[in-house]
C-alpha cells in the first residue's frame, strides 16, 4: 500500500513540478500556449539601456520589439501565432544591451556570447511571469534584476508538449503502481492459503 501511495505521489510531482516553484528559475523558458501575450516593462535595477525583443526559433533576427527597460509601464499585447509560433513552442525573448552591443537570450546558455545563463523566470501564478535579465558579459553580479519584464496571457513556463523526463517519471509512476498492486494481490493470496 505504501508503494502505491509513493507511486501516486511521484506521478503527481512529475505532472506538476514546474507549476509549484516559489523562487525564480535561472535559465527557464516561456512557451506559447495560444492567444495573445502581454508584455509590460518593469522598473530596472541597472543604468544600461536594453531593448526586449522576440526572436525566431533560432535567435538570429528579432521579429518584434517591446521598448527599452527605461520605458517603465509600457505594455504591449501581441499574437505570437502571427509570427509563425505554434502552441507548445518556446518563445525566445532576449535583450539587446545598447551600451555594450551584446544580446542575451532566455533559456539555454549556449545562445549567449559568454555561454552563461542570463535570465531568470519568476512564476507569479495565474499565467503571469516576471523575467529578470543579467546585462553584463560573464554574468555580472548574477542578480537577474538588471532588466525586468512581466509576461501574461498565452504563456507558461511549462511546455504544453510533455518533455521526455516528465514522460519517463509518469511511466515510472505507472509501473510502480502496477508492481505494488501485484505485490498486494500476491500477499493477500498467500495469507488466504493459510
Q: What is the pTM of this model?
A: 0.70
The reply to whether 17 falls in a domain is no
The pLDDT of residue 100 is above 70: yes
Over residues 51-63, the mean pLDDT reads 84
Over residues 176-192, the mean pLDDT reads 55
The reply to whether 113 falls in a domain is yes
Structure confidence at residue 56 (pLDDT) = 83
C-alpha cell at 159: 511546455
Are both 68 and 148 inside the same structural domain?
yes
**CA angle, 103 as apex, 102 and 107 as ends, to 5°?**
140
Q: How far apart are CA 190 and CA 187, in angstroms?
A: 5
Count of structural domains, the chain: 2
Structure confidence at residue 71 (pLDDT) = 96
Residues 146-155 have pLDDT tens digits of 999 999 999 9
Are both 177 and 86 inside the same structural domain?
no
Are both 174 and 189 inside the same structural domain?
yes
**CA angle, 20 as apex, 17 and 22 as ends, to 5°?**
130
Are both 102 and 141 inside the same structural domain?
yes
- Residues across the chain: 194
Q: Can you spell out the DSSP letters for the chain?
A: -HHHHHHHHHHHHHHHGGGG--S-EET--EEEEEEEEEEEEEPPSSSS-EEEEEE-SSTTSEEEEEEETTSTT-EEEE-GGGGT--TT-EEEEEEEETTTTEEEESS-GGGSTTSS--EEEEE-SSSEEEEEE--SGGGTT--S-SEEEEEEEEEESS-SSPPHHHHHHHHHHHHHHHHHHHHHHHHHHHHHH-
Closest CA to 152 of 127, 179, 176: 127
Write down the mean pLDDT value for the chain.
Answer: 81
Q: How far apart are CA 119 and CA 94, in angstroms?
A: 9
Are both 169 and 100 inside the same structural domain?
no
Range of the domain at 183: 2-12+163-193
Are both 187 and 139 inside the same structural domain?
no
The pLDDT of residue 16 is above 60: no
Are both 80 and 47 inside the same structural domain?
yes
Integer-rounded Cα Rg, in Å, for the chain is 22
Are both 47 and 69 inside the same structural domain?
yes
Which CATH number do you get for residue 50? Answer: 2.60.120.400
Amino acid at each position: 500500500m505504501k508503494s502505491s501511495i509513493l507511486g501516486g505521489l511521484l506521478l503527481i510531482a512529475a505532472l506538476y513540478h514546474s507549476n509549484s516553484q516559489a523562487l525564480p528559475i535561472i535559465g527557464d523558458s516561456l512557451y506559447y500556449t495560444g492567444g495573445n501575450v502581454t508584455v509590460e516593462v518593469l522598473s530596472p535595477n541597472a543604468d544600461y539601456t536594453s531593448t526586449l525583443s522576440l526572436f525566431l526559433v533560432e535567435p538570429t533576427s528579432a521579429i518584434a520589439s517591446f521598448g527599452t527597460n527605461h520605458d517603465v509601464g509600457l505594455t504591449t499585447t501581441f499574437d505570437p501565432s502571427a509570427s509563425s509560433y505554434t502552441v507548445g513552442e518556446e518563445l525566445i525573448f532576449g535583450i539587446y544591451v545598447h551600451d555594450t552591443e551584446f544580446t542575451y537570450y532566455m533559456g539555454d546558455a549556449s545562445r549567449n556570447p559568454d555561454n552563461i545563463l542570463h535570465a531568470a523566470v519568476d512564476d507569479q501564478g495565474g499565467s503571469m511571469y516576471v523575467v529578470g535579465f543579467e546585462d553584463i558579459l560573464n554574468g555580472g553580479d548574477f542578480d537577474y534584476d538588471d532588466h525586468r519584464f512581466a509576461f501574461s496571457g498565452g504563456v507558461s513556463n511549462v511546455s504544453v508538449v510533455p518533455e521526455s523526463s516528465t514522460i519517463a517519471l509518469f511511466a515510472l509512476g505507472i509501473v510502480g503502481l502496477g508492481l505494488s498492486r501485484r505485490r498486494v494481490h500476491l500477499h493477500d493470496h498467500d495469507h488466504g492459503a493459510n
